[in-house]
Amino acid sequence: MARYNPKAIEPKWQQVWDENGTFTTDEASSKPKYYVLEMFPYPSGRIHIGHVRVYTLGDVTARYRRAKGYNVLHPMGWDAFGMPAENAAIERGIHPGKWTYDNIAAMRGQLKSMGLSYDWNREIFTCAPDYYVHEQRMFLKFLEAGLAYRKESWVNWDPVDQTVLANEQVIEGRGWRSGALVERRKLSQWFLKITAFGDDLLDSLSTLDRWPDRVKTMQERWIGRSEGARLSFRLEGAPEGLDGLEVFTTRPDTLFGAAFCGIAPNHPLAEALAASDPELAAFIEECNRTGTSEEVLEKAEKKGYRLPVDAEHPFVPGLKLPVYVANFVLMEYGSGAIFGCPAHDQRDLDFARKYDLPVKPVVRPAGLDDASPLEIGSEALTGDGVIVNSGFLDGLSVADAKRRAIEELEKIGIGKGETTFRLRDWGVSRQRYWGCPIPVIHCPDCGVVPVPEDQLPVTLPEDVVFDGQGNPLDRHPSWAHVDCPSCGRPARRETDTFDTFFESSWYFARYTGLTTDRPFPREAADKWMPVDQYIGGIEHAVLHLLYSRFFTRAMREVGLLDVKEPFAGLLTQGMVVHETYKDDQGRWVFPEEVTKDADGQLVHVETGRPVTRGRIEKMSKSKRNVVDPMAIIEAYGADTARLFMLSDSPPERDLEWTDAGAEGAHRYLARLYRLVDEWAAALPAPGTDIGADLAAAEGAALEIRRKLHRTIRDLSEDLERFHFNKGVARLRELSNALFDFTPASPADAAVAREAVDAIIRLIGPMTPHLGEELWRMAGHDGLLAEQPWPDFDPTLVTVDTITLPVQVNGKVRSKLDVAPDLDQDAAVERALADHKVKTALDGRTPRKVIYVPNRILNLIG
């Protein structure tokens, strides 16, 4: 008798798929397309358990769709630029390129050992010139189209990584990688005009009906569209040319409650006045020590610096408002200046209380009658209501007053309605070596000159020094020194490289065809895009997913493809979590080091000292609760790891890794293997016409058929909806029925053949190696991976009832057709209504009920 041995089976089938080109996408196929993609990995060196989960989810989807008759595109590649490679160079003297490609080789092997159905012919490496040359061309196209531009701006500077960070990369005021407190700096940077698509990026979210609401909400907030007005205050005491102050407001209805104006620390007026005011200069510098992200400013204490300048109220002649430099006003939002209405804005109220400014309510909250006094304590009134104390706006609703105020501003020519976005243009310049060089040259005479097409790609020099001091490209002796392509005089290459989110913003389109003359073939992109199902982590809800949506629009605008949305369906998988332990010193302990002593107390295996169980947490090295996927595959095989990743939790939720769970999954697969092994010889040969025998099936065999066809129907639904855990449970239930079944008659054997063939196909996407092996053991030629998904027989699934025999005093009196798993009360009620049972009971009520669900009901009376 053979034994389930994944170590032998798995490499064997991987090799067969490879040699056979089983997963090579056929461009000539006339089947409907299905593009499934998992977020590609950063080549850190080893796959982690999160990879195993996400790539299993994608692989089951790809294999299922293939079986359902789709022409599937399922590619894989490497997000290969980025800082860890450069850090390795600094720390260990390995060239980032070598480090990266070595890691890729190791991880590719690990992914292959999982049996993933990728078309490896389309593998991409974003750090290779044949990939990034297209980025350079694309960037120059964007530049031409006005979608890329250069400007001086205040940026988030990471003092440890020595680079600029996008706002999205600043988390609670710290760099997302280094954890260092972010500072502000003024630099000349390249920007991509994501704001040009602000409205569309927002409005089109409603078309993404296969995206999680959570992600859409996060994007909506991030884009942050605000409708309001821009208006100009006349300033008294301001230097020439700076005496009009533009502010953006979403609440023009509260203008009569204005108490002050605030400007950003980097506002031109503040900078002009600081030139002759050291105290102001010091205040500005203090503000610059915190990052530019809103989050930070929101939390910081509100502070201001009173300027020797007043603003004239536009509607109230003679009313003068003090002007402050305020630390909570952002230069990059609206116009970098505000008017403050303390009664109806919390920040303004905090500020007013601190600097003793008037607080004048101008909105009476709905439900508060005219007579009651309108007083503001420590909380601003931000709700709806009726306008008061506001001249020509009095009596209007907030919405009407907004419109009326804008009308008035337009009439007197000092303002207009305006929409503003929280979203800012994407700064893509990074002062790093291991990234795609930005293909421009700076000429003292000609300014910024694009690198001519025939000189692309601009490749990275190999001979660079990594010592952690700034950007190595800057200090390379010759690389940056070139002649100006336009005037021929000495000029200098741009030494900044692109943010690495650049690469991942279009790689999904590159997979549609690896052309050299263009980023991807137009027809192929139009055929394959959008990705039908994208799978990856929720941590990319705004960054990567928003950039990709923008890039797709930008690529469309420059004529590279014709879709707007890159990802039609999105699944965000949860984390894999694991138990944690600490010893009596509070140190983390590996779960393998924990055992129970004679009294059943948890202790450390070596020291015998007490250990306490901690929370179940995301796997992390520091908490010593990491499980290495390669060790799992080594111990149980990839199919067990895959099956476990699909069991227990829905994909969006966290999944707890337990050894017991993995062992359970393994035992189940071994049992299925034994079943097929035992049955194989007695099954009718494949291809035999078993139709008549199947039709003759009855009793337990018929029950098996019913269960089988229901499982086919329901599992298909489960896979379409990504309810993989439910699907696994269903398969195990079906298997249990088979384990209990002993085929005796020819009809039974036919049913066994039908069931074995179907269950192999059903489990194939989840445990593909075992699937292929069982397919062979069951006597089939060819590959399971090329078999269609089984169909269910509708006549076998419609009858969702079972036959329940009813005994009265031990004698069968009737048979009821009832729903499976009916509870006792309902079963008794049904029985008492049955006339044969009634006759048998002859008016007596049963004294005792014996009920075995789905088997028998015995009434004693």
- In the list 127, 245, 338, 734, the residue contacting ligand ANZ (rule: CB under 6 A) is 338
Part of the chain binding Zn ion (CB under 5 A), chosen from 237-245, 265-273, 484-492, 797-805: 484-492
Instruction: Tell the smallest beta-carbon distance from residue 438 to Zn ion (Å).
Output: 17
Contact partner, 484, from Zn ion, ligand ANZ, none, Cβ < 5-8 Å per class: Zn ion
Q: H or E segment at 232?
A: strand 225-236
CB distance 31 to 52 below 8 Å: no
| Binding to ligand ANZ, residues 262-281 (CB under 6 A) | 264
According to CB under 6 A, which one of 162, 250, 459, 486 is a site residue for ligand ANZ? 250
Contacting residue, 139, 157, 190, 333, with ligand ANZ by CB under 6 A: 333
For residue 127, what are its two tokens?
Answer: 């750090």
Of 388 and 484, which CB lies nearer to Zn ion in the complex structure? Answer: 484
Nearest in space to 495 (alpha carbons), one of 402, 429, 426, 408: 429
The answer to the question of residue 483 lying near Zn ion (CB under 5 A) is no
Q: How far is the CB of 491 from Zn ion (least distance, A)?
A: 6
Which CB, 443 or 571, lies closer to Zn ion?
A: 443
256 binds ligand ANZ (CB under 6 A): no
- From the list Zn ion, ligand ANZ, none, pick the one residue 658 interacts with, judged by a Cβ distance below 5 to 8 Å according to partner type: none
Q: Which stretch binds ligand ANZ (CB under 6 A): 250-258, 281-289, 299-307, 851-859?
A: 250-258
Measured CA to CA, the distance from residue 205 to residue 253 in angstroms comes to: 30
Give yes or no for residue 484 binding Zn ion (CB under 5 A).
yes
Least separation, in Å, of the C-beta of 297 and ligand ANZ? 8
Under DSSP, the state recorded for 751 is H
Q: Which is nearer to ligand ANZ, 345 or 408 (CB)?
A: 345
- Strand 260-263 with 320-326, pairing: parallel
What, of Zn ion, ligand ANZ, none, does residue 117 touch, CB below 5 to 8 Å by kind?
A: none
Q: What gap in Å lies between CA 636 and CA 476, rounded to an integer?
A: 50
CB within 8 A of 580, min separation 6: which ones? 588, 591, 613, 614, 615, 616, 617, 623, 624, 625
Identified binder of Zn ion from the candidate list 486, 612, 658, 854, rule CB under 5 A? 486
Question: What is the rounded CA–CA span in Å between residue 161 and residue 158?
Answer: 6
Exactly one of 137, 251, 402, 706 binds ligand ANZ (CB under 6 A); that residue is 251
72 vs 261 by CB, closer to ligand ANZ: 261
Lookup: tokens for 323: 């002007």
Please tell me whether residue 345 binds ligand ANZ under the rule CB under 6 A: yes
Judge whether 708 and 623 are in contact, CB under 8 Å: no
Q: CB under 8 Å to 5, separation ≥6 — which residues?
A: none
CB of 390 to ligand ANZ, least distance (A): 12
Contacted by 336, from Zn ion, ligand ANZ, none: CB < 5 to 8 Å by type: ligand ANZ
Min separation Cβ 500 and ligand ANZ, Å: 29
Nearer to ligand ANZ, 226 or 459 (CB): 226
Asked whether residue 621 is marked as a ligand-binding residue, the answer is yes
Among 127, 329, 509, 641, indicate the residue that binds ligand ANZ (CB under 6 A).
Answer: 329
Q: Does 744 bind Zn ion (CB under 5 A)?
A: no
Name the residue nearer to ligand ANZ (CB basis): 341 or 694. 341
For residues 440 and 437, what is the distance between their CA atoms, to the nearest angstrom? 9
Q: Exactly one of 249, 288, 293, 429 binds ligand ANZ (CB under 6 A); which one?
A: 249
Q: Least separation, in Å, of the C-beta of 774 and ligand ANZ?
A: 59
In order of 689, 772, 787, the CA distances from 684 in angstroms are: 9, 19, 19
Nearer to ligand ANZ, 294 or 410 (CB): 294
Is 446 a residue that touches Zn ion (CB under 5 A)? yes
Site for ligand ANZ in 392-431 (CB under 6 A): 420
- In terms of CB distance, is 343 or 441 closer to Zn ion? 441
341 binds ligand ANZ (CB under 6 A): yes
Based on CB atoms, which residue is closest to ligand ANZ, 231 or 484? Answer: 231
Contact 198, 221 (CB under 8 A): no
Interface mask (CB under 6 A) for ligand ANZ, residues 279-318, using x and -? ----------------------------------------
Q: Does 336 bind ligand ANZ (CB under 6 A)?
A: yes
Site for Zn ion in 776-795 (CB under 5 A): none
Which of residues 73, 83, 148, 443 is near Zn ion by CB under 5 A?
A: 443
Tell me how far apart the alpha carbons of residues 645 and 318 are, in angstroms, rounded to a whole number.
Answer: 71
**Shortest Å distance, C-beta 26 to Zn ion:** 50
Q: Are 831 and 816 in contact (CB under 8 A)?
A: yes
Assigned token pair, 397: 């609703």
Choose the contact partner of 125 out of Zn ion, ligand ANZ, none; CB within 5 to 8 A by kind.
none
What does the block give as tokens for 271?
């900078």
> Phi and psi (nearest 5°) for 261?
-120, 145
Size of the site for ligand ANZ (CB under 6 A): 19
The CB-of-436 to Zn ion minimum distance in angstroms stands at 24
Residue 460 binds ligand ANZ (CB under 6 A): no
How would you class 135 by CB atoms within 10 Å of its CB: exposed for 0-12, middle for 13-18, buried for 19 or more?
buried
Name which of 266, 132, 195, 225 is nearest 426 in CA terms.
Answer: 195
Options 99, 339, 528, 722; binder of ligand ANZ; rule CB under 6 A: 339
**Sign of the C-alpha dihedral computed for residues 668, 674, 677 and 678 taken in this order:** negative
| Residue 487 binding result from Zn ion, ligand ANZ, none, given CB thresholds of 5 to 8 Å by partner type | Zn ion
With CB under 5 A as the rule, give the number of residues binding Zn ion: 6
The one-character DSSP state at 487 is T
Question: For 35, how many CA atoms within 13 A lie in the half-sphere containing its CB?
Answer: 23
Binding window for Zn ion (CB under 5 A); candidates: 81-89, 444-452, 528-536, 829-837: 444-452
Contact 253, 402 (CB under 8 A): yes
Q: Which of 156, 254, 640, 649 binds ligand ANZ (CB under 6 A)?
A: 254
Q: Binding segment for ligand ANZ among 20-28, 332-340, 473-481, 832-840 (CB under 6 A)?
A: 332-340
CB distance 182 to 174 below 8 Å: yes
446 binds, among Zn ion, ligand ANZ, none (CB under 5 to 8 A by kind): Zn ion
Binding ligand ANZ (rule: CB under 6 A), the pick from 248, 256, 479, 644 is 248
Q: Which helix (H) or strand (E) holds 174?
A: strand 174-175
The residue among 387, 413, 417 whose CA lies nearest residue 399 is 387
Nearer to Zn ion, 448 or 802 (CB): 448
Sheet holding 163-165, edge to edge: 163-165, 148-158, 183-192, 426-427
Asked whether the beta carbons of 23 and 17 are under 8 A apart, the reply is: yes
User: Dihedral of CA 696/699/703/706: which sign?
Assistant: positive
Please provide residue 83's backbone torsions phi and psi, each rounded to the nearest 5 degrees: -70, -35
**Residue 405 dihedral angles phi and psi, to the nearest 5°:** -65, -40
Interaction partner, residue 854 (ligand ANZ, Zn ion, none; CB < 5-8 Å by kind):
none
Nearer to Zn ion, 486 or 612 (CB): 486
Q: Where are the beta strands (DSSP E) in 207-356?
A: 225-236, 244-249, 260-263, 304-312, 320-326, 337-340
As a whole number of angstroms, the distance between CA 80 and CA 665 comes to 34
User: Could you count the other beta carbons within 10 Å of the beta carbon of residue 210?
Assistant: 12
Q: Do 330 and 297 form a contact (C-beta atoms < 8 A)? A: yes
Residue closer to ligand ANZ, measured from CB, 260 or 498: 260
Q: Report angle CA 467, 473, 476 to the nearest 5 degrees.
A: 85
CA distance readout (Å), 739 to 129, 671, 696, 742, 743: 56, 8, 21, 8, 11
Annotated binding site: 621
Q: Rule CB under 6 A: which residues touch ligand ANZ? A: 226, 248-251, 254, 264, 328-330, 333-334, 336, 338-339, 341, 344-345, 420
Q: Rule CB under 5 A: which residues touch Zn ion? A: 443, 445-446, 484, 486-487
Annotated binding site for ATP: 621
